[in-house]
Amino acid sequence: MLAIEVKNLYKNYYSTKSGNFAGIGRPDLTEDTNPNSPLGVGGISFQVNRGEIFGIIGPDGAGKTTLFRILTTLILANSGTASVDGYDVVKDYKEIRKRVGYMPGRFSLYQDLTVEENLNFFATVFNTTIEENYELVKDIYQQIEPFKKRRAGKLSGGMKQKLALSCALIHKPSVLFLDEPTTGVDPVSRKEFWGMLKKLKDQGITILVSTPYMDEASLCDRIALIQNGQFLKIDTPKNIISQYKNKLWAVQSDTMYKLLTDLRANESTKNCFAFGDKHHVSIDNEDITMENLKEIIEKLGHKNVSVREIEPTIEDCFMQLSQG
């Protein structure tokens, strides 16, 4: 049985302020006024296998939270179907609520309760006790246990995140929904957090996690790249990278800002973006070699030029896919 199955899911809330589309799916296909055309073709579909870490990766406003809210039975889709653990999100919503853990993007624990009281509260709501599932949360909860008498509102960001994860896990869910758990978190704490997810996966928990950080893609078994309510691609990170079209070269010189303009002006360049201390150039011309490009750049007055072939990152792939 699949952990999550989504078929043609479509949700549109026209923003009252702007009248613009917000949600998931394609309104141009779904909200066809022609009565003869099938409704719902513009929705999104995907499946998550049991025990998988599945990443939904994309910028703010792409539809990540909408998808999470439908799957956790908090809002209804306009059309399409979705099931979690084999249960329908509409018909069997009560069953789903018992089985899933959900950590929303915004900190949503009780600020006035202590660390311990929060965890106890969530355990009680789900008819269990901290003791019963302590094994599952032990690794995470132990890091905040020294502060168990502290009110949740007084915790640091990193500790809040660990408490929220403990509370989402305390009833031993079979599927865990984490909506942007690492947003605004520094790179060191982000690494730690992904380490925790890996351990949960080893205990058989299925994890659907969203993030705007493209570098976290490689830590997922499979990912869906999302933008404007639509999936650009669903696959393993490795396969997405291997499907990158064009050659990709990393170029450096002593004058990086000028180099960006010069590379973009080059006729073999499909596109060029800054990537840390290098520029990534995708080359649309089979005949040009790295040596050729180096010469061209040096002729424009650049010193210490280096051109290297590189493997694309997920961010390179996202940019290529989002530009069509």
Partner 1 sequence: MDNKIQQSTNIVITAENLTKRFGHFTAVDNISFEVKRGEIFGFLGANGAGKTTAMRMLCGLSIPTSGNGIVAGYDIENQTELVKKSIGYMSQKFSLYDDLKVWENIELFGGIYGMKDKEIKEKTDELMKVLNFENERDKRVGSLPLGFKQKLAFSVSIFHNPQVVFLDEPTGGVDPITRRQFWELIYDASSKGITVFVTTHYMDEAEYCNRVSIMVDGRIEALDSPKNLKNQFNATSMDEVFQQLARKSTRKAD
Binding footprint of partner 1 on the chain (CB under 8 A) = 15, 17-20, 58-62, 155-160, 183-189, 191, 212-214, 227, 257, 260, 273-277, 315, 318-319, 322-323
Q: Which lies closer to partner 1 via its Cβ, residue 19 or residue 35?
A: 19
Query: Based on CB atoms, which residue is closest to partner 1, 135 or 254?
Result: 254
Contact 302, 254 (CB under 8 A): yes
74 vs 283: CA distance, rounded Å: 46
Minimum Å gap between C-beta 101 and partner 1 is: 23
CB of 131 to partner 1, least distance (A): 26
Report, in Å, the least distance between residue 292 CB and partner 1: 25
Q: How far is the CB of 189 from partner 1 (least distance, A)?
A: 6
- Between residues 145 and 295, which has the closer beta carbon with respect to partner 1? 145
Shortest Cβ 180–partner 1 spacing (Å): 8
CB of 159 vs partner 1, minimal distance in Å:
7
Nearer to partner 1, 118 or 182 (CB): 182
**Closest CB to partner 1 among residues 95, 284:** 284
Cβ proximity to partner 1: between 214 and 293 the closer is 214
